[in-house]
Amino acid sequence: MKKILPAMKIAFRALRINKMRSALTMLGIIIGVGAVIAMVAVGSGATERIQQQIASIGSNVIIVMPGSITASGIRLGSGNAVTLTIDDAKALARDCPSVQAVAPSSRSGAQVVYGNNNWATSLYGTTPDYLTIRDIGIQSGNVFSQQDVDSDAKVALLGQTVVNNLFNGADPVGQVIRIKRVPFTVVGTLVPKGQSPTGQDQDDIIILPITTAQKKVFGVNQARANSVGSLMVQARGPQFIQAAQDEMRAVLRQRHHLQASQDDDFTIRNLEEVFQAQETSSRVMSILLAAIASVSLIVGGIGIMNIMLVSVTERTREIGLRQAVGAKTKDILTQFLVEAVTLSILGGVVGILLGILASKLISIFAQWSTLVSPGAILLAFIFSALVGVFFGFYPARKAALLDPIDALRYE
């Protein structure tokens, strides 16, 4: 270890003498490490975004949608068929042991009026469980009850944005608003959630009992009054997600009288899958960057090997002299290895800075969140050092095994 320091001093001197050459040699490593950093940043940015989205929806959530969806995301064969009903939701809650709660939900948009104010917003018809599953809290008032759902009660919960736009600071609880001319009593307001990671205002909503919504607001015909847009299911815990999906599939297939040869007429997705599918573009970018990184690191490594071979030849006499005054095989090996590693680490450090810059630019121009983690920086650093060791070894060995007399005589 005490020999590394003088070896580094010698290395820096040698690299300083040929500044331009050293810089050009480092270029491959710089680009390679920069790409590694950017790649990891894009990748972990995407992962983080998925996690935020999942967190904003609720934990351990599984969504059941009507119709089947192929692996490539194309919706097949749903047609006009109504495949999910409020009764399906009840059955799932009752018959699937891994399921904690099920909330059927249907969505629509509508104009809402209070006094002279009106506001266009999203309507969610659902059950009280929806708030538990999505982890939505109550700011003031109360949640409507299951009984309200069963009795088609005309009650509503308002998100903060709706409150702000309709009530001008007045207390909305107990007031009556009109949705498509139908009067609803406001029974509570929701704790603000802010923007979703995709930039949607999560507080611009009204939640109604699903029965009331279907019959009085969405205006679906009687035959379909029982059908719902989707089911939000919460598993008992992260480890139950897979089991819950399997149980739900079995229950739904039985309820829908599907033969073994028939495909599902519904789609079960856990949120992880849903959002990962959305992140394919950043995954493609990651793969591209990984390709650039590996090619650049190899090219950079070969560049280092090349320059080190040149350096060994140029300094043959110096090597001979060092051997004459007592340098052992190991000493010469260390000296040139340290020089190669210094070169690659220097390139690595510049590459890390460049990679951080590139990540920032990617988030600005491609609107992707990127995350440069200390782990990635450490990884890139170790990687560049390894490139130096790997590609520096052959030239260093060549130097160390020179015959002292031949080396001293070298012209």
C-beta of 385: minimal distance to other proteins in Å? 24
Q: Kindly report the length of the chain.
A: 411
* CA pseudo-torsion sign 329, 331, 335, 341: positive
Nearest to other proteins of 136, 332 (CB atom): 332
C-beta of 399: minimal distance to other proteins in Å? 14
Nearest to other proteins of 320, 351 (CB atom): 320
In whole angstroms, what is the distance from residue 157 CA to residue 190 CA? 7
Nearest to other proteins of 280, 329 (CB atom): 329
In whole angstroms, what is the distance from residue 395 CA to residue 312 CA? 7
Can you give the C-alpha Rg of the chain in angstroms?
33
Cβ burial 375-394 (10 Å sphere, 16+ → b, else e): ebbeebbebbbebbbbbbbe
C-beta of 41: minimal distance to other proteins in Å? 41
C-beta of 335: minimal distance to other proteins in Å? 10
Place of tokens 């009650």: 155
C-beta of 389: minimal distance to other proteins in Å? 22
Nearest to other proteins of 350, 407 (CB atom): 407
Nearest to other proteins of 6, 77 (CB atom): 6
Please state, as a whole number, how many other Cβ atoms lie within 10 Å of the Cβ of residue 56: 17
C-beta of 319: minimal distance to other proteins in Å? 11
319 touches 407 (CB < 8 A): yes
C-alpha triplet 5, 11, 12: angle, nearest 5°: 95
> Structure tokens of 157?
């919960």
Kindly provide the residue ranges of all beta strands, DSSP E only, lying in 127-275, ordered along the sequence: 138-141, 155-158, 176-179, 182-190, 205-209, 230-235, 266-270
Nearest to other proteins of 28, 320 (CB atom): 320
Amino acid letter, residue 171 = D
The Cα diameter of the chain in Å comes to: 104
C-beta of 320: minimal distance to other proteins in Å? 8
Residues in touch with other proteins (CB under 8 A): 3, 6, 13, 17, 317-318, 320-331, 404-405, 408
Nearest to other proteins of 75, 409 (CB atom): 409
Nearest to other proteins of 311, 370 (CB atom): 311
Nearest to other proteins of 121, 323 (CB atom): 323
C-alpha triplet 119, 123, 127: angle, nearest 5°: 145
C-beta of 26: minimal distance to other proteins in Å? 21
C-beta of 339: minimal distance to other proteins in Å? 15
207 touches 124 (CB < 8 A): yes
In whole angstroms, what is the distance from residue 211 CA to residue 197 CA? 31
